[in-house]
């Protein structure tokens, strides 16, 4: 793979900042303890093990930052391993996309790219070993019967009538399962543990099922496939992983993983569980995200409204902003939901430092400056980034006909509206004071054009006589500005915790109909003509925007990454007051 697919990846090498030492305290103390007792010969080796059945989302970013970050911090290694044990759901499209996203986030697996399917033979050998030790058996019960025999949290399980098959018979049947003699679902291999265990995972879990399905990597070599519970711990063991960091729902699978590794007597990583990331106003399960894509509710995995890494990239989030978010939220043991405003805050902080300021008008209203010479054009100096003066200045053209924002004018201004109104004077950024002298309306009574006068003495934005104006507006020169399409985004869901998304009806009732607004006849500064895909800007007073992938020379398309107003600052203030 080309490991540098994204031209905007500004900072691929910063792979050590993904975690906050204090907030990963419990993980670090386990690792420190293991280092001090020399449990793994001083090694720290982690892995990120995605299942290639969808695109990565911001929750995965948390796990990526954690695993690669821990490895970097302890001068260890982190593998990328595709957990491709389920032949039905995996697609090679996902594999490439996952690699691209991890690389873009700024992490490098070097030469350690692995596939669980490469271990199928080894896993099979391990299964034979368990059968020979009398620790696994072939069962003919149907899936429904197995469920029934399993019992519940409050009732014990029941032994299968096949549980006491002889080792010879088990070996024979298991080999014939592999050879393809039996139909899908007709038999399984199960671990022989304890049907009375209070932990349901220990009640003779299934290790192999028959599935006559072609696998993207092993093709038709196998017609039995390992279950997740059987395979996952073995994968970590085979790769000599020292610390298997996973999400909380696997906590009560740990005794099972431990049991398998102990019975086999093979390398035994330390599993450590942490809480998965949930984000408000969105969903994080790949199954639900796939539904949004397949159902056409969004325009693909990289729709800028999606919580996927590629969606966020297209929306204009930088890898540094995502890493900074993961660092701030930290890692803990309790499931909770993080406010999406915090993510946007991190994005804004990052863009504030790095974005060039430009002027753009989203809903144009024409302004004619009556006393400005008709054919004159002045090139005025505008500051590129007040946060970074080394970014310099640029020229913006000023002429008799301009556009301002429709929202910046009110014919009958309400209290506290200080922007343009009949008879009122305001400042045009980097230019002059202008005063509205006439309002032109169409036959429907809508305001279509304003006439103003300007004061030449206020060039650069201040009046020599000291008179003040109460607002400064952004604007573009009508003759020079370029037409552009601008896409504004809001949360994908209206509910903080979208629930019950199983039917299309329910899904629809949770979706935010305002999540995408397309404005087709916006006007932007000339300097944006040659802007590259994904390059980002602050449109003054409007927010941070980036150039969409659909942008061409003939059609400019921008996405609003985030508006300027920081909801998070407000939420924080309110939290502090409480």
Choice among 209, 286, 314, 419 that is catalytic: 286
Cα 30 to Cα 247: distance, rounded to the nearest angstrom: 16
User: Apex CA 8: angle with CA 19 and CA 550, to 5°?
Assistant: 125
Indicate which of ligand ATP, Mg ion, none lies near residue 285 (CB less than 5 to 8 Å, by partner kind). ligand ATP
Q: Residues 6 or more apart from 297 whose CB is under 8 A from it?
A: 291, 507, 508, 511
To which H or E segment does residue 510 belong? helix 504-510
- Classify 462 as helix, strand or coil: coil
Contact letters (x/-) for ligand ATP, 231-260, by CB under 6 A?
---------------xx-------------
Q: To which residue do tokens 């740990």 refer?
A: 254
To which H or E segment does residue 400 belong? none
Q: Residues 6 or more apart from 300 whose CB is under 8 A from it?
A: 293
Q: Which two tokens stand for residue 549?
A: 């992938």
The reply to whether 286 sits near ligand ATP by the rule CB under 6 A is: yes
User: CB under 5 A: which stretch of 51-59, 216-224, 443-451, 529-537 binds Mg ion?
Assistant: 51-59
The reply to whether 560 sits near ligand ATP by the rule CB under 6 A is: no
The reply to whether 277 sits near ligand ATP by the rule CB under 6 A is: yes
Helices and strands (H, E) in the chain, number of each type: 14, 27
Distance of CA 60 to the CA centre of its chain: 8
Q: What is the largest CA-CA distance in the chain?
A: 103
Contact letters (x/-) for Mg ion, 4-43, by CB under 5 A?
----------------------------------------
Question: 48 and 103 in contact (C-beta within 8 Å)?
Answer: no
Cα 258 to Cα 199: distance, rounded to the nearest angstrom: 13
User: CB under 5 A: which stretch of 44-52, 103-111, 166-174, 363-371 binds Mg ion?
Assistant: 44-52
The reply to whether 102 sits near ligand ATP by the rule CB under 6 A is: no
Nearer to ligand ATP by Cβ, of 246 and 488: the residue is 246
The answer to whether 51 is a known catalytic residue is yes
User: CB under 6 A: which stretch of 276-284, 423-431, 475-483, 528-536 binds ligand ATP?
Assistant: 276-284
280 by Cβ neighbours in 10 Å (0-12 / 13-18 / 19+) ranks as: middle
The reply to whether 276 sits near ligand ATP by the rule CB under 6 A is: yes
Minimum CB–partner distance for residue 528 and ligand ATP (Å): 36
Question: 140 and 174 in contact (C-beta within 8 Å)?
Answer: no
The reply to whether 311 sits near ligand ATP by the rule CB under 6 A is: no
Indicate which of Mg ion, ligand ATP, none lies near residue 311 (CB less than 5 to 8 Å, by partner kind). none
Minimum CB–partner distance for residue 276 and Mg ion (Å): 10
Indicate which of ligand ATP, Mg ion, none lies near residue 357 (CB less than 5 to 8 Å, by partner kind). none
The answer to whether 540 is a known catalytic residue is no
The reply to whether 284 sits near ligand ATP by the rule CB under 6 A is: yes
CA nearest 204: which of 137, 275, 294?
Answer: 137
178-187 CB burial, b ≥16 within 10 A, e <16:
beeebeeeeb
Question: 181 and 205 in contact (C-beta within 8 Å)?
Answer: no
480 by Cβ neighbours in 10 Å (0-12 / 13-18 / 19+) ranks as: middle
The reply to whether 476 sits near ligand ATP by the rule CB under 6 A is: no
Between the two ends of the chain, the Cα-to-Cα distance in Å is 51
Nearer to Mg ion by Cβ, of 225 and 281: the residue is 225
Range 55-84, binding ligand ATP (CB under 6 A): 59-60, 62-63
Cα 315 to Cα 298: distance, rounded to the nearest angstrom: 14
Cα 522 to Cα 514: distance, rounded to the nearest angstrom: 19
Choice among 23, 43, 276, 459 that is catalytic: 276
Range 480-519, binding ligand ATP (CB under 6 A): none
Indicate which of Mg ion, ligand ATP, none lies near residue 382 (CB less than 5 to 8 Å, by partner kind). none
Cα 200 to Cα 194: distance, rounded to the nearest angstrom: 9
CA nearest 51: which of 91, 100, 102?
Answer: 91
Indicate which of ligand ATP, Mg ion, none lies near residue 284 (CB less than 5 to 8 Å, by partner kind). ligand ATP
Indicate which of ligand ATP, Mg ion, none lies near residue 128 (CB less than 5 to 8 Å, by partner kind). none
Minimum CB–partner distance for residue 279 and ligand ATP (Å): 8
Minimum CB–partner distance for residue 304 and ligand ATP (Å): 19
The reply to whether 543 sits near ligand ATP by the rule CB under 6 A is: no
Minimum CB–partner distance for residue 59 and ligand ATP (Å): 2
Cα 104 to Cα 8: distance, rounded to the nearest angstrom: 9
User: CB under 6 A: which stretch of 43-51, 371-379, 523-531, 539-547 binds ligand ATP?
Assistant: 43-51
Nearer to ligand ATP by Cβ, of 254 and 286: the residue is 286
Indicate which of ligand ATP, Mg ion, none lies near residue 211 (CB less than 5 to 8 Å, by partner kind). none
The reply to whether 50 sits near ligand ATP by the rule CB under 6 A is: yes
Which positions are catalytic? Answer: 51, 276, 286
Residues forming contacts to Mg ion in the complex (CB under 5 A) are: 51
Contact residues: ligand ATP, CB under 6 A = 49-51, 59-60, 62-63, 246-247, 276-277, 284-286
């Amino acid at each position: 793979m080309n490991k540098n697919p994204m031209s905007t990846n500004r900072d691929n090498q910063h792979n050590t900042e993904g975690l906050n030492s204090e907030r990963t305290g419990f993980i670090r103390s386990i690792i420190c303890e293991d280092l001090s007792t020399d449990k793994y010969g001083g090694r720290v080796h982690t892995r990120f093990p995605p299942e290639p059945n969808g695109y990565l989302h911001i929750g995965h970013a948390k796990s990526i930052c954690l695993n690669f970050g821990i490895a970097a911090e302890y001068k260890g290694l982190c593998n990328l391993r595709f957990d491709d044990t389920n032949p039905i759901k995996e697609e090679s499209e996902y594999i490439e996309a996952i690699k691209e996203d991890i690389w873009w986030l700024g992490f490098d697996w070097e030469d350690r790219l692995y596939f669980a399917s490469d271990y199928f033979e080894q896993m099979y050998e391990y299964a034979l070993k368990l059968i020979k030790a009398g620790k696994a058996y072939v069962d003919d019960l149907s899936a429904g019967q197995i469920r029934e025999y399993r019992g519940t949290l409050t009732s014990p399980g029941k032994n299968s009538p096949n549980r006491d098959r002889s080792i010879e018979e088990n070996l024979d049947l298991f080999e014939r399962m592999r050879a393809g003699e039996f139909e899908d679902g007709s038999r399984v291999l199960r671990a022989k543990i304890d049907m009375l265990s209070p932990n349901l995972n220990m009640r003779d879990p299934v290790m192999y099922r028959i599935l006559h399905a072609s696998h993207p990597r092993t093709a038709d070599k196998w017609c039995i496939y390992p279950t997740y519970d059987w395979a996952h711990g073995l994968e970590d063991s085979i790769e000599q992983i020292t610390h298997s960091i996973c999400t909380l729902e696997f906590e009560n699978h740990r005794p099972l993983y431990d049991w398998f590794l102990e019975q086999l007597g093979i390398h035994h990583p330390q599993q450590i569980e942490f809480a998965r990331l949930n984000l408000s106003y969105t969903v994080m399960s790949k199954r639900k995200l796939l539904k949004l894509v397949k159902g056409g509710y969004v325009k693909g995995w990289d729709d800028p409204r999606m919580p996927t890494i590629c969606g966020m990239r297209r929306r204009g989030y930088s890898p540094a902003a995502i890493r900074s978010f993961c660092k701030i939220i930290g890692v803990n043991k309790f499931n909770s939901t993080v406010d999406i405003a915090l993510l946007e805050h991190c994005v804004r902080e990052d863009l504030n430092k790095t974005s060039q300021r430009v002027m753009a008008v989203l809903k144009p209203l024409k302004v004619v400056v009556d006393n400005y010479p008709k054919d004159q054009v002045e090139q005025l100096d505008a500051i590129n980034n007040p946060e970074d003066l080394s970014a310099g200045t640029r020229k913006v053209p000023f002429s008799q006909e301009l556009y301002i924002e429709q929202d910046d004018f009110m014919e009958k201004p309400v209290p506290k509206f200080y922007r343009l109104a009949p008879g009122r004077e305001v400042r045009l950024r980097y230019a002059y004071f202008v005063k509205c002298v006439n309002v032109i309306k169409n036959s429907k009574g809508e305001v279509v054009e304003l006439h103003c006068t300007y004061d030449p003495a206020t060039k650069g934005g201040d009046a020599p006589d000291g008179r003040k104006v109460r607002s400064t507006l952004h604007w573009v020169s009508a003759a020079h500005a370029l037409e552009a399409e601008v896409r504004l985004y809001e949360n994908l869901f209206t509910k903080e915790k979208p629930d019950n998304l199983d039917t299309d009806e329910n899904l629809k009732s949770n979706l935010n109909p305002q999540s995408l607004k397309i404005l087709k006849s916006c006007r932007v500064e000339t300097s944006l003509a040659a802007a590259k895909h994904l390059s980002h800007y602050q449109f003054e007073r409007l927010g941070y925007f980036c150039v969409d992938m659909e942008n061409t020379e003939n059609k400019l398309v921008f996405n609003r990454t985030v508006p300027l107003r920081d909801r998070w600052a407000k939420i924080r203030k309110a939290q502090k007051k409480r």
